[in-house]
Amino acid sequence: MFEEMALLKEAFERSAVKVIITVENASIKLPNGGIANVKKGDEIEVPRWMANLLDEKGIAKRKWNEVQLQELSKIDYKTRTVKSPREVEPLPSNFYWIWTEYLEHLEKVIKSTPDPNYIYERKRVGEFLNRIMSRRIAILIDAILTSGVEMPSLLSKVTPEELVLLEKFQGDFKEWKEILNI
C-alpha cells in the first residue's frame, strides 16, 4: 500500500499549479529544460514541487485557487447525508492531496503569523476532512462487507487513494475469511 500511495503522491507533486512571481526579475529554469524570464506580478504554471521550492526561496507565492472552504463544506454536508454506496459522489481530482497540502500551508502561515482566523480555518478544514474521509470509507467498507459490493462498481466513485485502501482491505478481508474457512 505504501508504494502505491507514494506513486500517487509523486504524480500529484508533478501536477501543475499557478504561482505569482514576487521578485522584480528572475530567470527560472523549468523542468522541461526551458527558462522562464519573469517579473514581479507574472503568473506562471509550474509543477507543485517547484511551486513549493519557489515559495520557500521567496521568488513566488502559490495561488491557492483549487481550495474553496465553501466547497469543502458542501462536500462534507453531502457526505454526511449519504445512506448507501450508490449515493456516494466522486470527489474532485487529487482531493485528499490538495487539502492535505493546504493544511500544511496553513500550519506554516500560523507559525509565521498566528492569526486566529488562520487557526480557525485550519481547525475547520481538519474537521471537514476527517468527517469526509471517515464517512466515505465507512460506507464503502460496509458495502464490501455486508452488501458484497464488488470493486468495479465503486471505481467511478472513489479516489485513487481510497481505492488503494479499499483494495488492501478487501484482500485482507478475503484472506481472513479463508483462514476462518467462511
| Residues 82 and 167 grouped into a single domain | yes
- Cα(28)–Cα(119) distance, rounded to whole angstroms? 33
Residues 52, 79, single domain; the answer is no
**Do 96 and 48 lie in a common domain?**
no
Structure confidence by residue, pLDDT tens digits, 103-133: 999 999 999 998 999 999 999 999 999 999 9
Cα 18 to Cα 9: distance, rounded to the nearest angstrom: 18
pLDDT band at 149 (very low <50, low <70, confident <90, very high): low
Q: Does 111 share its domain with 149?
A: yes
Q: Tell me, what amino acid is at 85?
A: P
Domain around 24: 6-62
Instruction: Please list the helix, strand and coil fractions of the chain in percent, rounded to the nearest 5, in that order.
Output: 60, 15, 25
Quick one: average pLDDT of 21-43?
Answer: 92
CA distance linking residue 50 with residue 52, whole number of Å = 5
Which residue would you say has higher pLDDT here, 99 or 141? 99
Nearest to 48 by CA among 97, 121, 111, 7: 97
Structure confidence at residue 62 as a pLDDT band (50, 70, 90) = very high
Q: 51: domain CATH number?
A: 3.40.5.50
Cell readout for 35 is 527558462
CA atoms within 13 A on the CB side of 111: 6
Among 39, 62, 85, which residue terminates a domain? 62
Q: Are residues 119 and 46 in the same domain?
A: no
User: What is the pLDDT confidence band of residue 69, given thresholds at 50, 70 and 90?
Assistant: very high
Percentage of the chain beyond pLDDT 70 is 97
User: What angle (nearest 5°) sits at the alpha carbon of residue 5, between those of residues 92 and 82?
Assistant: 40
Do 102 and 122 reside in the same domain of the chain? yes
Cβ distance 27 to 59 under 8 Å?
Answer: no
- Asked whether residue 1 is domain-assigned, the answer is no
Q: If residue 100 lies in a helix (H) or strand (E), which one and from where to where? A: helix 95-112
pTM: 0.84
The cell numbers describing 89, all together, are 459522489
